[in-house]
Every structure is written in C-alpha cells, then in structure tokens.
Chains A and B, each alone.
Chain A
Amino acid sequence: MTYKKNSENYIENYGLSIGDTIKVHKEDITYTGILLDRPEDADDGYIVIKLSSGYNIGVAIEDTTAELVEKGDKPKIGYDETEIPHDDSKQNISIVSTGGTVSSVIDYRTGAVHPKFTASDLVKANPELLDYANYNVKALYNILSEDMKPEYWVKAAEEVANDISNGADGVVIAHGTDTMHYTSAALSFMLKTPVPIVITGAQRSSDRPSSDANINLIDSVIAAKSDIAEVCVCMHGSLNDKYTYLHKGTKVRKMHTSRRDTFRSINAQPIAKIENKKVSINPDYDYTKRGANELELNTDIEEKVGFIKSFPGISQEFIEYHIDKGYKGLVIEGTGLGHVPNNLIDSFKRAQDEKIPIVMTSQCLYGRVNMNVYSTGRNILDAGVISGRDMTPETTYVKLCWALGQSDDYENVKEIMQTNIAGEFSQKSSIKDFLN
C-alpha cells in the first residue's frame, strides 16, 4: 500500500484494506465503491474509490467517515500455466527480458497493470508466436531502462552467451527503449556471435491495444531466425504498424522522445527491413552470416568512464573534476567537427600526461569527427585526444568502457579505439546517411 500518513491512519482506523467495498460519508453525499491504492507520488489526505461505473475518484478524507461494506478478495492476477507445445521442426529462440513490460495483464477490478513475463504469459498475449519458433523465456532482471548500468550489460551478455551455448538459434532481448542503444553497443563489443541477437522494446506500453510491442516482438523473432548473426535493434520503421527496421547495434540511436519510429541508424543504413514476416536485407550491407563466427564472450569493462557534453562557456573544471576523481577515460561530445573551447585544451594535456584516454565525438550526431580542419581541432589532437570518427557518442562511450576493460595500457586502449571491433565506424560517409 502506498498511502501516506493521514490516509493510512484513516484506512487503518476503519479497518479497511485495498480491494474492500466501502462507503465514505461526506456531509452531503455518500460514495460507495472499492477502495484502491493511490499512486505513490500523489498527495496525502485523499483516498481512491472505484465507483460501480468503473470510474476512479479521489475523496478528501477530512470531515468524512467510512464504513466497510464487504471485504474484498485478494485480486488474483494472471492465468493458469499453459503447456507450450514443442515442435522439433522449428528453431529455438531464447527471449530474455531485462525490464519493461513485453506483456502485461490489466486487473480491471483494481485498475492495476501487472507486468508478466513467463513463457506462457508471453504466448498468451501473443499466440501467433507459436507459428514461428520454440521458446525459452527468461526474466533476467526487471529494471527501468534509465536505471541500466554497465554491470547489467555484463549479466545480459553472459545470459545470451549461455543461451547460445545451450543451443539457441537466436536470441531476442526485451529492453526499455531509453538506453537500448547503449546495451546494443555493449553486447556488440562483448559478444562474437554465431546467431542473431536482437534487442527490441516498445514506445507504447503493452497494456494498450495500440502498443507497438507485439509487432516489434514478432519481427524480432523473425530476425532472430534469420541469417544475420549480429547484435541488432529491431523497432518500428515508421509511424505505421507496417514494417520494422533491423539496425546494427553499434550504429543506432533513440532519436525521438515518444514516436514509435524513434530508433534510427546513424551514419549508416538499417541492415534489413522486416515486413509481413519477411526479412529483406539491404544489398549494400556486408553482414556477418549465421555460423561465420564462433561464440566468444568478453565482458571485461571499466565503469569509471566520464561522458561530457561541450557547450559555449564550459569551464576546465568539468574535465579537471573527472581527472581528480580518478576517471579512467573520458568521452567528449564536442561541437561540429569535434571541437571544444580552447580553454579546455590544457586539461586535455593533463589527462594525456596522466594517461587518461579522451575520445572526441560530435554532438551533431550525423557526420564524422575531423580535427584537422581548424587550429583548435589540431591543438586538441596534439593534446592526445582520439577521434571517435563517425561513431555515435553513446557507442563511443560504451566502446571506451570496454576498451579500458581490455587493457590498462594507454597506448593499447588508444589502439583498440582506433580498431573497428563491431562495425562501430566506417571509412566512408554515404550521401544517403542523414536524417533518415
């Protein structure tokens, strides 16, 4: 129960519990309905009642009395487990949940939305899944996307590797969308995979009939069965419920706060389009084919990496602070081609002296870092700053975490940052790769 002080006392004094049918008498009106819980962030001094019409109202408890009409049953959520048939002719797909709700059950009596994540729940909500594969479903952890931490990337990578060695023909990871592209980048560096690893989610929660979860999930399963043995993100390709895109895990970014087609390939094209359950692979794409790689897991990472956005008027302190605090590496989101105000360059030099690698990216997001064009850029390069090339700032950050996990040696880390590990950068900027 999330009721606070006054309301909590009131409810206790009248011997009421959530789910009971009660009457609340005010001076000139009596409300009858089911006592419901109150959102955690709402004010004290009110109780919530669900009227017989289904509407909730808040009643200010001051100068009211309450009485119990009928004790409520503890709400029973969920359904009986169902046997999921196994079909030997179908591929085995692992579905791993990291949080968010791929399937939810609404309890209309209390109005609560319960996230569910067992295989049978998933199949109940999406029975058509059975047409495509056999499933092994696991809820790895349940955290909000914004609470994601590098240590969770490690857990996810281990789980995925485990599933693959146990015979999964593909893995689908359900993930909150806010930090999905960080996780996709992390798994790209941590895993060499013989099978597809597809990360997906929803921009509209799955308790809504309009949720994008179902299409994203089904298409992710289709992608997980495909020949594309890479870490990818599979999300809506447009505002229509029509097709999804499969984006390379290191080249994708959330670009809109709320639209369904928020994920976009940055400085790249999607690997494939999935429409009507068919995967059309972009012919220009040199993707890694199923079985081409042996499974390899390398989860060594360094979490103490700073991520700083430059802005007009930024002071040295931003850099100095991170060096003072013992950060092992820094990613800078510079302006334009990869610039910061000249007053930061001394701090960059200090980092260089202390063997702390700094990688420059651009807050333009689109295009390539090039620090040779202006004198400021050349000074930044002279201070030992590494170019992030055409990587997104987020991928660069994840890569630096991983690189610092691979080696303590400054030169080695610089070397890794300049090496293409998981298709995170390209040599060539295509005329097509902008705002799409």
Chain B
Amino acid sequence: MDFDYEKLGLKMGLEIHQQLNSQHKLFCPCKTELVDDEFSELVQRKLRPTQSELGEIDRAALQESLRGLNFKYENFEKHTCLVENDDEPPHSLNEEALDICITIACLMNMHIVDEFHTMRKQVIDGSNTGGFQRTGMVATDGYLDTPYGKVIIESLGLEEDAARRVETKDGFTEFRLDRLGIPLAEITTDPSMHHPDQVREVAYMLGQILRSTNVKRGLGTIRQDLNISIAEGARVEIKGVQDLDLMAEIVNREVQRQLELIDIKKQLQDRNAEVLDEIHDLDELFEDTESKILKSAETIKAVVLKGYDGLIGHEVQPGRRFGTEIASYAKKRGVSGIFHSDELPAYGITQEEVDKVNDFLNIGEDDAFIIVAHDEDIAISALEEVKRRASLGLEGVVEETRKALDDGNTEYMRPLPTANRMYLETDIPLFKITDDRIEPIANNLPELPDVKQARIIEEYKLSEDLATQLVKRQEADMFEAILADVDVDATPVASLLAYDLREIKREGHDINVLTLNHFKDIFTLLADGKIAKDSVRKLAIETIKTPDENISEIAEKNNLTMLSEEDVVSIISEIVANNEGMVKERQMGAMGPLMGMCMKQLKGKADGSLVNKVVREEIQKLI
C-alpha cells in the first residue's frame, strides 16, 4: 500500500534508546550485565501516584490507580544492591557513561550542556522501584547529514534503564532488577521526516554512529521508538520497533489506522453518535446462557453506544478493528476482552440472546452495545474505559503510546506522557561538564563504521565482506593493531577475527583469553612460513588452552609446524613411488589423486602450492 505521504502531511521522528557499555550502572557500582541466576530475595512493593497527580479527592480514582500497582522485585545478592531496590540513595553519576554520551554528542554535532542535572521522571508502572526514572539532558541541537537532507537531533539524554518485567500473576507484576540502572543514551530527532524510507535510513545511521562508541551489542540493547502523525490525525508514539526492515510497514499501517479512525469519526459525527453513561446489569438476561465465558463470570454488564452500529467492527489495521482499540483500553483494567454487537452472535452467545439484549437495552437500528463479563469492580472499571475510548472515537485519532507488534501492527499501551512530570533528583549533585572534559573526547572521536570499513578495504585490500564483518564485530581495531606489527597477508588475519573466532567461541572456548600479543605471535609464525594458513584456527584454539606457553612450542606440540622443503620432497617422492603403477598408466592424469593423497598427509604441515609443485616434479621424473 502506498500513500501520498506529502498530501497526508506525514511527520515522523525517532527516539532511540541505546544501552551503554560502561563498567558500572549509572548510579551504583553494580555491573551492567543481565543475569539468569535464581534471585536471592523477592521484595514486595506498592507505588502510589504522588499528590500532584491526584488532584481532587476521588477515592475511586485512587483505587483505580492503585489497582495493579503491586510489584515484586527480584534482588540478587551479587548482581544488584540496595540502590536498585530503592533502599539506598543513588551514588554519584557514572562519569564513564557521561563520557560515552559526550562522544555520541560530538559525533552528532550537538551542543553539550554546561551543567548536567539529574531529574526524576514519574513512572509508576513498577519498572522503576522509586516510581521515577532518573534522567538528564547531556546535549541538544545537533544534526545528521542524510541522503534525504539534514535531520535535526533535538536532544541526547542520559538515563537509567528500567527493570525487566518477568511476569504478572496473582495481582503482582514481577520485575528483575538486573537491568535497572544500566546507563541508556536517549536520542531524539525532530519530527521532520516525511517518508518511511527516510526514517529507516536515519535509524540505520544513528545505529552506525552508536556502534562506533562503547555501547552494548545484541538483542534488546537498542530500542527504537517512532513518533508519527498525519495532518488530520494525532501524534502517536510507537514503542519498541526492533526490526528496521519493518519500519516502513509500521508507518504504512499507522497511516492507515489514522485514516480509518478519521473515517469512523466522520461517520459517527454524521450519525450524531453518543456513548450513554449508564452501565447495565445483564446477569438475569444471561441466567441460562450456554456461553462458557459468560457463565463463568461473576457478573455481566453492558453499555450502549448510540450510532456506533457497524463501526466497532470497522477494520483499522489488517486484522484489527475499532473494537480491538476499545478492547485494548478495557484490558488495562484486567479483563481479557469485550463482546460487541458487531461481532455477535458468537462465543456461544446466541442470536436469541442478542435479541434479548437489544430489547432490554433499547438498541436502535444504528446503535451498538458492548458487554464485559468479569468480577463486579473490574467489569465496571473496564466499561468505564470502554466508554472513554468509544467517546474518543468522535475525536478521531487519540494521542497515545502504542507498542509495535511483530506483524507491523500496533497496540495501545498508555496515554502519551506529558512532558513536564519531571523534577530535580535532589540526591545527586549537579554535574559541571567543562571544556577540559569535552576537548580530549572531541579530539579523539572514533571513526564511524562506514568510513572505517571503506578505509580498511582500500588500505588492506580486503574483500568488502571481510571488512564489513570486521567492523560489525568490533574487531577492526585488533585487526589493525596486528597488521601494524606483523608483515603478513591481511586476509587470514581478517578471517580469523571476523569468522573463526565466533565459531571457536561457539565450540565453547573462551576467546577473551586471546590478547593482541597472542595474535601477533600466531601471525608471525604464519608470516615466517612456520605454520600453514590452515593451521591458524587450530593454533588459536590451542593457545586458548595454554595461553602462557611459548607459541612455537604450542605449534610444535600440536603438530602444526610446517615441514622443511626437504622433508616435504621426501614424503611426496615416497608416496609417488608407492603409486608408480598409476602414474605409468594415467601419466599426468595421476596428478589429481596423488595431490589428494599428499595433502591428506601434509595438511597443515606444508604449503599447498609447494606440494603441488613437488608432486608435479615427482610425476615428471617417472614419465
């Protein structure tokens, strides 16, 4: 599906969260690694919205907000400390993380603030034990040159990552504290992108910049959020776009959703649609129902939507209807779904029962109803959300935060956060960022990946594939360090670093044992003709096993050292002599089989071209 993006006034911005690879967390000395161990202690907590968010005394509203605010936190004796558990004030700002951010800021031509202020941003979904996320502004107003023109980088923040959600069960949401406090860089572009391909390109470029600095790699270490709106629609933030290739699809489906919602709005307005306030009790009506879902519920309740008939079933994204949007609001109140008149009879609810409901609720031709079956207070609370979301249909697109789904669709998460629920974190001193700090960083910026890749191809005559892998796997620096000291063919060095190391690791060897000196020793042996190219991988493995041993001895002991030319000649001449009959019969045609036999015996101990030469000579001697 292709839209006329310009005509629709499509505007998009990106927000990227990248975990930094600092030694320690942002405000405590814990490591920045995730753990899969058994937790040592499970701590039970509640969060309460603070007063400014409550406004009027409203018991119901408070109860509402407290529902689902019960949490359990997995503490780890070794991996987490009291800071993550909100039982100790934060330690000082991690300066290593700040420096990584300064590097990123310089690479994106940003203005670094004179003084960094740590803020508290209210988050009461439990993912932060304190009920707020600590965050601060490092730099503003940068830019990136892209093939589609300049993109403004509005801001670079440094903040704490949230706790990992484990499960929600029995009224508690459980989080693991290992991720809480890992430093995150938050990069926000302005909403000036107008084409899905551009967003994809900018996201890729930002990723490349981040990868040139000391950031975490791998699944979940970078999270992309997309801000998107069309002129007649509203701003929607889509969280967690993992796959850049899905970016265009997500944009298209969101544009579609906004257009459909605008269409629904117009139809509702034409019909003078209205959501009626009353919540009706249908328990008696369904007393003898055969529907298992209804039968098992404590109570069955419904609301009437005047003028909504047919529109609840209106598709807004492939496989998702306006009713799905309404249901996703209700689900936040603990129900597993809703039943709406556009889809009934179904779920064991018969036409006869639908007729009874229509009758009982006075449903007119254009009207619709929505049923919720659950415990009394949850059903009421869910229907309040149904009413709210259904009414918002009259306004078209709603500003919300949505979650990216794997198929390119999105699902409602929560309302858009308001910008200013932030106040100073008084437990952490203000931090001055002086020129003395910035200059050494600005003067030693890392090479961006694409620049580095192009230079490596040119300088070392590597294949594009090898160069790409070297850069992607962050082995380019090691590669260059080895070649700076050892005069050896670049390709075997690159292929060990880019490919073999990964396999060796997968076989269960600890490749971190290998130092620059080990690599230099290995490739010096290769350069001196002491080992064959084919033996490099094996020698690396043996070196991991005995890292303190002399490399020549390791090679010797494992039979990896090349034979002298004399020895090679004598072995080959013996093999050829043993096959004299075949040589006589097939003449030079014996070359192939004989090469095979010789290589089998000499593999790793003689260079293939030498073997070839000697075999040829020995055959010629006989014919």
Contact = CB atoms under 8 A, between A and B. Distances in A.
A interacts with B: yes
Interface of A: 28-29, 31, 39, 42-43, 46, 48, 50-60, 79, 82, 103-109, 111-113, 116, 121, 123-125, 127-128, 203-204, 206-211, 214-215, 239-242, 257-260
B82 interface: yes
Interface string B102-141: 0000000001011111011110100001111001110011
B118 to A, nearest CB: 9
Interface stretch (B43-51, B144-152, B275-283, B593-601): B43-51
A209 B51 contact: no
A106 B419 contact: no
Given A60-B114, A210-B131, A55 B422 contact: yes
Contact of A53 (B50, B59, B115, B137): B137
Contacts of B124: 209
B115 A58 contact: yes
A106 B50 CA distance: 8
Contacts of A104: 50-51
Given A39-B426, A209-B49, A241-B45, A57 B115 contact: yes
A108 B51 CA distance: 11
Nearest to A51: B137
28 contacts: A29-B141, A48-B117, A52-B419, A53-B419, A54-B119, A55-B135, A55-B422, A57-B114, A57-B115, A59-B115, A79-B55, A104-B51, A106-B50, A106-B52, A108-B420, A124-B51, A125-B54, A128-B59, A204-B86, A208-B130, A208-B132, A210-B47, A210-B129, A210-B130, A211-B48, A239-B87, A240-B43, A257-B88
A59 B116 CA distance: 9
The 6 A-B residue pairs with the shortest CB-CB distance, nearest first, are A209-B131, A58-B115, A111-B423, A54-B422, A55-B137, A240-B44
Nearest to B60: A127
B465 to A, nearest CB: 42
A51 B140 CA distance: 11
Interface in B389-446: 419-424, 426, 429-430, 432
A4 to B, nearest CB: 14
A258 B82 contact: yes
Given A39-B430, A54-B422, A210-B45, 20 more contacts: A39-B424, A42-B430, A53-B419, A54-B420, A57-B115, A58-B114, A58-B117, A60-B114, A105-B52, A108-B423, A111-B422, A111-B423, A112-B423, A113-B423, A123-B57, A204-B86, A204-B130, A208-B130, A240-B44, A241-B46
Contacts of A258: 82, 87-89
A259 B87 contact: yes
B495 interface: no
Interface in B51-97: 51-52, 54-55, 57-59, 62, 82, 85-89
B212 interface: no
A71 to B, nearest CB: 19
Nearest to B43: A239
Contacts of A210: 45, 47, 86, 129-131
A207 B122 CA distance: 10
Contacts of B58: 127
B213 interface: no
A107 to B, nearest CB: 7
B51 A55 contact: no
B142 to A, nearest CB: 10
Contacts of B130: 204, 208-210
Contacts of A48: 117
A29 B140 contact: yes
Q: Which of A46, A55, A56, A214 is the most central at the interface, judged by chain B CB atoms within 10 Å of its CB?
A: A55
B157 interface: yes
B131 A127 contact: no
B27 to A, nearest CB: 14
A210 B180 CA distance: 15
B19 interface: no
Given A105-B52, A208-B50, A209-B130, A56 B111 contact: no
B157 A55 contact: yes
Contacts of A79: 55
Nearest to B113: A57
Contacts of A105: 51-52
A146 to B, nearest CB: 16
B239 to A, nearest CB: 18
Contacts of B426: 39, 113
B422 A241 contact: no
A55 B119 contact: yes
A209 B65 CA distance: 12
A107 B157 CA distance: 22
B82 A46 contact: no
Contacts of B423: 106-108, 111-113, 207
A240 B41 CA distance: 11
Contacts of A28: 111
B155 interface: yes
Nearest to A262: B87
A174 B235 CA distance: 45
A104 to B, nearest CB: 7
B46 A207 contact: no
B199 to A, nearest CB: 21
A58 B43 contact: no
A113 B423 CA distance: 8
B433 to A, nearest CB: 9
Contacts of A31: 140
Nearest to A106: B52
A128 B432 CA distance: 44
B51 A106 contact: yes
A125 B57 CA distance: 8
Contacts of B157: 55
Nearest to A209: B131
A11 B116 CA distance: 21
Contacts of B421: 54, 108
Nearest to B121: A54
Contacts of A59: 113-115
A208 B43 CA distance: 18
A43 B115 CA distance: 11
A112 to B, nearest CB: 8
Nearest to B66: A128
Contacts of A214: 48
A10 to B, nearest CB: 14
Nearest to A46: B115
Q: Which of A52, A106, A206, A214 is the most central at the interface, judged by chain B CB atoms within 10 Å of its CB?
A: A106
A42 B430 CA distance: 7
Nearest to A211: B48
A211 B115 CA distance: 29
Nearest to B58: A127
B354 to A, nearest CB: 41
A241 B137 contact: no
Interface string B201-218: 000000000000000000
Contacts of A207: 50, 423
A259 B424 CA distance: 22
A242 B47 contact: no
Contacts of B122: 209
Interface in B276-329: none
B432 A58 contact: yes
A87 to B, nearest CB: 15
B113 A124 contact: no
A405 B57 CA distance: 47
A28 B143 CA distance: 14
Q: Which of A31, A123, A241 is the most central at the interface, judged by chain B CB atoms within 10 Å of its CB?
A: A241
A239 B43 CA distance: 6
B51 A208 contact: no
Contacts of A54: 119, 121, 419-422
A55 B117 contact: yes
Contact of B51 (A57, A103, A112, A241): A103
B137 A209 contact: no
B84 to A, nearest CB: 12
Contacts of B46: 215, 241
B254 to A, nearest CB: 23
Given A111-B422, A240-B43, A56 B119 contact: yes
